[in-house]
Amino acid sequence: MTEPLSTAPVPGARFGRTLLSTVLGDPLAQTVDALVLATNRRGLMGAGTGTTIRLAGGPEIEREAMEQAPLDLGSAIATTSGRLADRGIALLIHAVVSDELGGVATVEDIRRAVASALTLAADRKVRSLAMPAVGGGTGPEHLPTASAAEVIVDETISFLRRSARRFDRITYVARSDDDLVAFGDAIVRGRARSWGTP
């Protein structure tokens, strides 16, 4: 029998007013205003976390995303959250990291999509959001999830440094212990490099 994944955040670090932390678990179990997920240029939600969100939130989420297609790589769009509103998640932010469903994401597309997602969240006055390792994967051609985590955290910190807009909390959601460590280490390195040691 598999033990359930923890949903307790790992202690993170503050970047100005914003707390960055990471948690091992289910993105849908997070208590946040908005959830970021990876998508493709057609807005399809048929793989990984996208499937889970579509099943839990309802098919109208995918329909709403597809109505905005074709989407530009590196952009982000917002949709309503369907039944996820019952869990307190008011907004879904779709970060466009690949051309097609299951497609390979590049570092640059992940970086631009994360910046776009954060800008959109700030514009919508989101105070807290959860983000998995958008664009990371396990296939031989995919960017390893640990590498995607590094890019995501680095771009988040860059966004916080260059923008006057702030969030209360950003939680990175890891699928494995290795990914949890990767996100945590990226936060620590980013704090030391960009903000000085705590």
Give the tens place of pLDDT for each residue, 23-41: 999 999 999 999 999 999 9
Q: Is residue 45 part of a domain?
A: yes
Give the chain's domain count. 1
Whether 143 maps to a domain, the answer reads: yes
Backbone angles phi, psi at 43, to 5 degrees: 80, 15
Q: Which distant-in-sequence residues (6+ apart) come within 8 Å of 49 by Cβ?
A: 27, 37, 38, 132
CATH code for the domain in which residue 79 is found: 3.40.220.10
Q: Are 187 and 13 in contact (CB under 8 A)?
A: yes
**DSSP-derived 3-state class of residue 106:** coil
CA dihedral 140, 151, 7, 104 (to 10 degrees): -30
Q: Is residue 92 part of a domain?
A: yes
Tokens of 61: 């989420």
Does the residue 2 lie in any domain?
A: no
Over the stretch 149-184, which tens digit does the pLDDT of each residue have? 999 999 999 999 998 888 999 999 999 999 999 999
Q: Report whether 64 contacts 90 (CB < 8 A).
A: no
- pLDDT one-digit tens code per residue, 108-146: 999 999 999 999 999 999 999 999 999 998 677 889 999
Rounded to whole angstroms, the Cα distance separating 81 from 61 reads: 6
Residues of the domain holding 82: 10-195
The answer to whether residue 80 is domain-embedded is yes
Min mean pLDDT across 8-22, 53-67, 68-82, 126-140 is at 8-22
3-class secondary structure, 35? strand
